Chains A and B, each alone.
Chain A
């Protein structure tokens, strides 16, 4: 494991790159947490077959916390499973009518994982409907009296339970993820530089005159980068969770898994860069040149939704987009099953990049 141990020593000599990998995301996260940003609203569905003033006002109240997107009833389950929406509310035709007349109205709700937000919405809906029933009872079927009661109730204390749901931690952590992902992206800088340096200085060729095989050399190299990636990921998670008290969803392990897969993608891009570049200077600039725009288009610095449609489409082909999407879903409380697609796409990226770089290297060796 001489090359592995040697690489660890060399990492320490690249202090600038290391500081960049850790300090850069942390600085941005700190700025993020210290400024009060616009609240982030996860997507949800509100399917209203009733369309009464009562259901409209309910929707309006909820819009403070979630963003309702168009979903048809059949795709609710898929959207929930894929993590595209965190909550779905379905109101059947005649619900308001039956509430006013028979004091019996209920709405259907769907969600998958228990999160701060979804359980908050649940509590809110329950007390809202309970109160509506009480009002319906006392107004005894009188429609206008019912609506007056609802309005009064809303003005007094109805929205309190909704206000209490804190999404600040959630906002901040969702917004921070982009910077974490960007930080993980920067590992490609150090990996590509070290690989090229070995070639530039003739050490790579010299190693191959020793009993060590090429496979072994590659393995030890990748292993050392993997260890570095692990240290970075764990450090960033700890800092996010315990110094910034970010809400990272129900499972830190899941977050770790997704981030480490993303780190492997970055390493694979680093090896690809090294197979295309002739000098470590070139690799250094190329890695910075690649990482920043890819991070931008992938939504690391601002939500991908605010970008024009065609740029969002480009984002579909970038690993950063999938990394952020996976981590976001986990933060919203989804379990690992919901991010398997994103993680598979990330792994596919890594495999393709590793194959490309080894194919390219063989090409050079010929």
Chain B
């Protein structure tokens, strides 16, 4: 077990950011942590790395507590922070070198590690440029290069693809797979369901500081097996109608996004829903039925969308 968290509690003053969380991550996994804004994902990584104190519970990394051998443990971990943390005053290669040195590399080992990290993230040609001239995606990639220069056994990636184009995103996802094949265990934090579904061998869904579901993609999908998704586009609808819809038997979850009503139910509810909408004078433009996706798993479990649709 590379990570063994049990009953972890972390408060910010009165706010419960991590609520009795237990989590095991096995060697060689790509472990996806999925959750909406404010779920406590970043807080979890901070407590894992000893950046902030926790109130109770225990954390074991590589079989021992952080304080037992902090230096040795930290040498084996790489963190890709959610907010890009690199020096604009330094060139790309100088940034990677700096972190290589901080992780204890020197001489030919450092040189090789730096080259590899830059090549791995596709930045080798740009190594002498300052990150201030980089695009957002290139900065993200440099942010990753700084975390893998020392070839960590565990790489924690906190939303490494936020705000970058699909091409760069695919590049990063492929890299994550490649790193994993080289023997690196990865914790991949995201609120993009597609990403997590594409690369993760284990997925945990986090909400309000708790893990509310965990398993492989397939196992999670089973949670709502047989459920149906109904997407109805309407002219306009008021909340009293939505409230009435919620009371329809077998409806598990309703979300309203602009003029689209999304209904997840454990059995077909088309007839009841139609009748109700018509009797409330709602003008219906379009109806689609779907089998549920991972995204819908999330919706049913948390009652919330993973991210604001405008994102």
> Using a CB–CB distance below 8 Å, which chain A residues touch chain B?
2-3, 6, 9-10, 13, 201-203, 205-212
Contacts and interface: CB of A to CB of B under 8 A. Distances in A.
B51 A208 contact: yes
A212 B89 CA distance: 21
A9 B98 CA distance: 11
A248 to B, nearest CB: 36
Interface of B: 49-51, 70-71, 74-75, 77, 79, 81, 83-87, 89-90, 94, 98-99, 101-104
Nearest to A216: B102
Contacts of B103: 210-211
A2 B101 contact: yes
Given A9-B94, A202-B81, A207 B87 contact: no
7 smallest A-B Cβ distances: which pairs?
A: A2-B101, A202-B85, A210-B102, A13-B89, A206-B85, A211-B71, A211-B74
Contact of A210 (B74, B83, B87): B74
Given A210-B99, A210-B102, A202 B83 contact: yes
A6 B98 contact: yes
Contacts, number: 52
Contacts of A203: 85-87
A202 B45 CA distance: 14
A207 B51 contact: no
Contacts of A202: 81, 83-85
A201 B81 CA distance: 11
25 contacts: A2-B98, A6-B87, A6-B98, A9-B89, A9-B90, A10-B87, A201-B85, A202-B81, A202-B84, A203-B86, A203-B87, A205-B51, A205-B81, A206-B79, A206-B81, A206-B85, A208-B51, A209-B74, A210-B74, A210-B99, A210-B102, A210-B103, A211-B74, A211-B102, A212-B102
Given A10-B87, A206-B85, 5 more contacts: A9-B89, A206-B81, A210-B99, A211-B70, A211-B75
A9 B94 CA distance: 10
Contacts of A6: 87, 90, 94, 98
A57 B86 CA distance: 74
Given A206-B79, A208-B51, A201 B102 contact: no
A257 B297 CA distance: 70
Nearest to B75: A211
B67 to A, nearest CB: 12
Nearest to B97: A2
A276 B87 CA distance: 22
Contacts of B94: 6, 9
A210 B74 CA distance: 6
Nearest to B101: A2
Nearest to B105: A2
A218 to B, nearest CB: 15
B17 to A, nearest CB: 15
B79 A209 contact: yes
Contact of A209 (B51, B86, B90): B51
A260 B216 CA distance: 63
A212 B99 CA distance: 10
A9 B87 CA distance: 11
Contacts of B70: 211
B85 A2 contact: no
Contacts of A201: 85-87
Contacts of A209: 49, 51, 74, 77, 79
A271 to B, nearest CB: 20
A203 to B, nearest CB: 5
A48 to B, nearest CB: 65
Contact of A10 (B49, B77, B89): B89
